[in-house]
Structure 1
């Protein structure tokens, strides 16, 4: 043993122990920081376009009650589902129909255990508020062509993919009116885009949800489609499977509670 070296080692041990303790603290902090940052981050919700006003109000209420921020992205359910399928960074998905939620569940992109039925809605025929047309009962004998005029278009969401458009086509087919109307349809990428065409007077008629008509003062409801003329309008909600936000499940549960239900009722939805 060389005395000088032995003395240096003995004196260095406290420093080494302190350095190791400091390193452990740093590593622990680095492990905790991502979880804390994730908890502070907004919950990202992908929601059907028809939910705009109601979900904005629900998100604001949730943040006020819990301190947890919620960020909502709106589009057609079909577009949002495809984005989630491509692993877009979302925590919660609210669809305007069952089919797109089923589509994601089949691909294991949502947490099936968190899925629940949230809302219902009604399908209505709308016209610009200044239109001279008066409300009427919509039946198989109704002829909408005079209301469209010589060049007017029937404003619908995409009938092959967007829930509101699919419901509308199903209703017109059930009422035997689709063959006469199909050539007069103007399709838009979402129900809100279809609503906007009517609100601006660019289309004399359109088919939207009752909640959409409730949100837009520039349109008026001419008729409500019979409930049995189309599949039930159902809004399911679920946590996105890839989400790691610690509050995502809590928000899904809250949306199904009384505080959120009161908000949705105020905006023209029914509670399932």
Structure 2
């Protein structure tokens, strides 16, 4: 009898382990959400994704790059659920190519422009006139997004043109593939000046703001987001989260402006 009960006991333990393991095996896997977004939105969107995943059975992942690059990838068929660009021109390009859900485009936030320099090199404030810019640049260059394709570069060229400063710096521009590359160049002291978004200056402690670009010198810098035609169900919830009061607070915390500011 002793051997029999020992057998029964072992059988019960084995069954319990099987059932427990089976429950874990059949637990629902987190639903993946893939967001294609502009490089300038990396910090804010990763923060938002982490907070969203905490209260949902989701795993939000990102592919960051220049707005022109990520949008072209989505148009070419990349498996994104959500597209968030740094301006409305590239979002309009995605709409025109029919890769987004109709009427899903929404303005999530807006941004501004600033001139920054290296904190370590004690860069000093710069007045927005040709003489002061030339003096600040010395033998160096002005890093900014590529003026013809990168949103930050287009806004920057527009602002400098309207301020009567473009001609004085056009030959000194170091065009970058996206605004975060320009920001990093200033932080490392590789360039004396970089023209970047206000939100970039807030997250990069290696730079200091040397001048704020007047808002009326360029078109409004809007941050639009939209669902792609092949989006997952979970991504709908993520977009709603970004538009919510909680989502707006995250954008504000990262230096963006939201409706009501």
Normalized against structure 1, the TM-score is what?
A: 0.82
- Counterpart for residue 50 of structure 1: 40
- Hey, what's the Cα distance between the residues in 2 that align with 1:142 and 1:260? 42
Q: Which runs of 5+ in 1 are unaligned?
A: 1-35
Pairwise mapping of residues 77-226 of structure 1 onto structure 2 (< 5 A)?
Answer: 77-138=67-128, 143-149=132-138, 151-226=139-214
Q: Tell me which of 62, 65, 75 is aligned to 1:75.
A: 65
**Aligned equivalents of 1:133, 1:119: Cα separation in 2:** 29
SS at match of 1:113: coil
Among 47, 50, 53, the residue aligned to 1:63: 53
Instruction: Report the TM-score when normalising by structure 2.
Output: 0.85
| Whole-angstrom distance in 2 between the partners of 1:209 and 1:178 | 18
C-alpha distance in structure 2 between counterparts of 1:157 and 1:54, whole Å: 20
Residue by residue, what CA displacement relative to the aligned partner does 1:108-160 show, whole Å, maximum 9, x if unpaired? Answer: 1111321111011110000001334433553x5663010001x2010011111
**Unpaired runs of at least 5, structure 2:** 1-26
Q: 1:141 to 1:154 in 2, by over 3 A?
A: closer
| Aligned positions, number | 233
1:258 offset after TM fit, Å? 1.1
Tell me the SS of whatever aligns to 1:42. Answer: strand
TM-superposition CA deviations, 1:48-79 (whole Å, max 9, x none): 11111111110000000112110011111111
CA RMSD of aligned residues (A): 1.7
Determine if contact 2:31/2:57 at 8 Å carries over to the other structure: no
SS of the residue 2:83 aligns to: strand
- 1:26 aligns with none
Partner in structure 1 of residue 15 of structure 2: none
User: Residue 144 of structure 1: SS of its match in structure 2?
Assistant: helix
